[in-house]
Structure 1
Amino acid sequence: MKDNETVWIDDIKTLADEKGKLTRVSFRQRRRDGSWQQRKREIYDNGNSATILPYDPQRKTVLLTRQLRLPVYLQDGAERMVEACAGKLDGEKAETRIVKEMEEELGYRIAKVERLFALYVSPAAVAEKIEFFTCAYSPADRVSAGGGLADEGEDIEVIETTLEQADAMIASGEIIDAKTVILVRWLSDRVAGSA
């Protein structure tokens, strides 16, 4: 199967297919010097997602979550991780999905979100593309305690903190999630630029 002038896919083999799909791809890549190189990569595809960092401009606060992330626990022993609200798209538009995730996880009902950009966070082995959002919120938008959906195994603590404190949590190593670091730093730059 030839894809284009620089990549030729020889074989795709599914290694696992449960919540996500793990495949091994054998391919040939044309190097810049014109020669062809045989390569293999394992690719994990667990679907595209969306993430959001809500900001209250009056109180200068943001909403974050704290929950178990098994890979982080297995690697570092951290039982719970601080991160931005996020969820898989599951075939929905990113804007629609992130509004639902905010209500499920954070307990806030928001009608309007602002799309920032889309990024691949680990493109060498993970197919997931993440859509990044922000929005304005206030205490009046709270409709429940949040916490996620128990039938999906979610047990999410909602954290409201200042944007300045979220920045400090990055510096101290308390926030180590890439999507959250990107959102907090992006929003900090935006707020500083508008001051």
Structure 2
Amino acid sequence: MNYQLLHERLVYDQVFKIKKAKIKHDLFNAGSMEVEWYCFERGDSVAIVIYEKDTDCLLFTKQFRYPTIKEGDGWILELTAGSIEAHEDPEQRVKMEVEEEIGYQLNGLDFISSFFVSPGGSSERVFLFYTEVNSSDNIFKGGGLITEKEDIQLVKMPVQEVRKHIKNNQFRDAKTIIGIQWFMGHYL
């Protein structure tokens, strides 16, 4: 199967970018067709499942997320995560995010997977990691960066409570659900 990018242009460029493209691609039943697509250029990001061994807890962030207000008060639980800048190493970025957001120093990382968040309209790809820490690894302030207008709370949740939350559909963030399910499949 082949495709050809016929035309691509930037149609919106503020905080985020939106591209419009005209593409010709092969059809499964022979032939081809031309379609116009819009792509929300979000950039890549990192996220991490953090298991605190000495407390048997998973570590989450809680923060306000405007797009979620249609379903609640806007504050949701998520894995620690952040955007990757151009040419930045995902492992270095995830370590920096953990220090900034929840104050932990990480010693080792395991790569889980990378995946597209919503490939029908967004370019965002998440690099998902796993690590284990102890409560004594919490050596930084955390809480996010004031310069980035972040206000982040660390939430330690016992693994048994995480199971209940996932079963009762209380996590509303895709990367968090994916990370929890990976953890439950590998460590429980």
Judge same fold: TM > 0.5, yes or no.
yes
% identity of equivalent residues: 24
Match of 2:91 among 77, 88, 95: 95
Question: 1:29/1:41 Cα in 2 relative to 1: closer, same or farther (>3 Å)?
Answer: same
Q: How many residues align?
A: 187
> Which residue, out of 159, 171, 194, partners 2:167?
171
Out of 166, 171, 182, the position equivalent to 2:178 is: 182
What TM-score do you get using the length of structure 2 for normalisation? 0.93
User: What is residue 59 of structure 2 aligned with on the other side?
Assistant: 63
Q: What amino acid is aligned across from residue 158 of structure 1 in structure 2?
A: L
CA drift at 1:61: 0.7
Q: Which position in structure 2 is the counterpart of 1:157?
A: 153
Which of 115, 134, 141 is the aligned partner of 1:138? 134
One-letter amino acid matched to 1:154: E
Per the normalisation by structure 1, the TM-score is 0.90
Cα distance in 1 for partners of 2:149, 2:19 equals 26
Give the Cα–Cα distance (whole angstroms) in 2 for the partners of residues 131 and 27 of structure 1.
27
Q: Distance in 2 between matches of 1:79 and 1:89?
A: 24
Q: Does 1:79 align with 2:74?
A: yes
Q: Gaps (5+ residues) in structure 2?
A: none
Match of 2:117 in 1: 121
- What SS does the corresponding residue of 2:140 show, helix, strand or coil? coil
| 1:134 maps to amino acid | Y
Q: Distance in 2 between matches of 1:76 and 1:151?
A: 28
CA contact (8 A) 1:27 1:39 kept: yes
Q: Whole-Å Cα distance in 2 between the matches of residues 126 and 134 of structure 1?
A: 24
Deviation at 1:35, TM superposition (A): 1.6
Distance 1:7 1:167 in 2: 43
SS in 1 for 2:162: helix
The answer for the alignment partner of 2:103 in structure 1 is 107
> Which residue of the partner structure matches residue 6 of structure 2?
10
Q: Measure the CA separation in 2 of the matches of 1:92 and 1:46.
A: 15
2:37 maps to which residue?
Answer: 41
Higher mean displacement: 131-140 or 15-24: 15-24
